[in-house]
Each structure stands twice: as C-alpha cells, then as structure tokens.
Amino acid sequence: MRIDIITIFPKMFEPVLNESIIKRAQVKGKVKIFIHDLRDYTLDKHKKVDDRPFGGGSGMVLCSEPIFRAVDKIRAKNQESRVKSKVVLLCPQGRKLDQKIAKKLAKQKNLVLICGHYEGIDERVREVLVDEEVSIGDYVLTGGELPAMVLVDCLVRLIPGVLGDKNSLNFESFEGNLLEYPQYTRPAIYRGQRVPDILLSGNHQKIEEWRKIEAIKRTRLKRPDLLKKRKGN
Ligand code: ADE
C-alpha cells in the first residue's frame, strides 16, 4: 500500500510515522508513506496556500491551486495511482470513521490523504478531486493532520502481515460488532485481585465460551448500539 499525505504541517507526522508498528510496517515494505508539504506546490512567491473566502466571513480557506498541483504531481510520479488512487479529505463533515470504513480503505493500493484546515477548503477540491470525506468524530480539531494519523494507524494495522499474530485481528474490539473480552496477564493474583479461574483452567473450549459471553456482556454495558448491528441479535 502507498499513502501520500498532503499537509501544511509536515513535521507533525515525523514522530508518529517513525515509531512502533507504523514504522515497522514501512521497514518491512508493507506500506510506503510520503508526506507532501502543500507549500511546495503553490506558485505563490510567498508560499501562501490560503486566502479570504469569497462573499466575506471569518477565517481563511485553503486554495485549490496547490492541492490540485500536489495531487497531479503525486499521480504523475506514481503511474499506478493514476488509475487506483483514492483521494480522501479529512474534515469534520466527512463520514465518521469506523472499522468498516477502515477495512474498505485498507484494500486500496494507493491513497492520497488531504488534511483540511482553517475555515475550510475551496469547494472545487471536494467537487473534482475528493472521492471520500472522512471525519474521526463529531468534534472539531485545528486541522486534518491528527485525523490523518489516526486513519493511517488504523489502516496500516489491517494490512496483511503487519501484525504478527493473525488472530489478534479476529478477536479485537468491533470484530463482529463486539467489544473485546477482558484480558489478564501475570501475576495471577495482584493486590488481592484474582484472575478468573477459568482462564487458568487450560480448558480452551470453556475459555472461548467465557470470552464470548464476557464480550457480549461488556458490549451490552458499554456500547449497546453495537449489539443492534449484530446479525442474529
Ligand atoms: N478536521 C478538524 N476536525 C476534524 C475531525 N473531527 N475529523 C477529521 N478532520 C477534521
């Protein structure tokens, strides 16, 4: 998978992309991530990438010109992306990110992420370039950078071969619209709190049953909305 990210704050990405599983996925060649500074694509001699909104109003709007030029350049460099790249705009008015959207996007070979900013983005970018708008929740952040990082993190771990244990994807929260069952590790007793006996029993069938029941209980308690989405419930 190849992900190109267009941003006015390229440095924000360095620490996140160079740590942990995202870093390892890049080293293993599972994902290639390129950060593009929007200011490198403007023809403005002062490297200005925003302007006042037509019709008046507060704030500034990201101009279409550098964004179109950035996407053109990315597509020209990466011939394959001309046909397959999907352009995603991170903005509060997008579809709310969930595991289902993440799984769909993780199947793409090429993604271009545009980090929205200021009061907004010239609408022609949405109309012409953007295939999908994604929000990470019903709250407003200062820009699309953190949402882009959230999306990248969420996608990278879904790429086959990125997580060591195949099962860790199957049993995690939201799989089958259930939250994850309670987990424990050594010691078996800590400050008087015991790990449930069943987990120490070695009876794998019983452990599976217990985990399923606990996952359902927990989902009913914390996220009853998810249970409604479950088939057969
Ligand atoms: N930009 C600002 N807030 C955002 C959000 N909640 N999701 C995606 N992009 C954003």
Residue located nearest, by CA, to atom 5 of ligand 1: 92
**To which CATH superfamily is domain 2-156 assigned?**
SPOUT methyltransferase, trefoil knot domain (3.40.1280.10)
137 CA to centre of ligand 1 in angstroms:
7
Distance, in Å, from the CA atom of 136 to the CA atom of 153, rounded to the nearest integer, reads: 12
Residue with tokens 């545009």: 114
203 CA to centre of ligand 1 in angstroms:
46
Residues in contact with ligand 1 (CB, 6 Å cut-off): 90-92, 116, 135-137, 139-141, 143-144, 147
The model carries a pTM of: 0.93
pLDDT 10s digits, 8-60: 999 999 999 999 999 999 999 999 999 999 999 999 999 999 999 999 999 99
Q: Which amino acid, residue 93?
A: Q
Domain-wise residue ranges, the chain: 2-156, 172-232
pLDDT 10s digits, 127-183: 999 999 999 999 999 999 999 999 999 999 999 999 986 656 766 778 789 999 999
The pLDDT assigned to 160 comes to 95
Cβ neighbours for 225, distance < 8 A, ≥ 6 positions apart: none
Four-point Cα dihedral 87, 91, 41, 49, nearest 10: 160
Distance, in Å, from the CA atom of 88 to the CA atom of 91, rounded to the nearest integer, reads: 9
Cβ neighbours for 200, distance < 8 A, ≥ 6 positions apart: 188
pLDDT 10s digits, 206-232: 999 999 999 999 999 999 999 998 765
Mutate to test the pocket of ligand 1, among 139, 141, 150 (most ligand atoms within 8 A of CB): 141
Distance, in Å, from the CA atom of 94 to the CA atom of 47, rounded to the nearest integer, reads: 28
150 CA to centre of ligand 1 in angstroms:
11
In this chain, the answer to whether the domains covering 2-156 and 172-232 adopt an identical fold is: no
The pair of three-digit structure tokens given for residue 84, joined into one six-digit string: 């397959």
Topology adopted by domain 172-232:
Trp Operon Repressor; Chain A (1.10.1270)
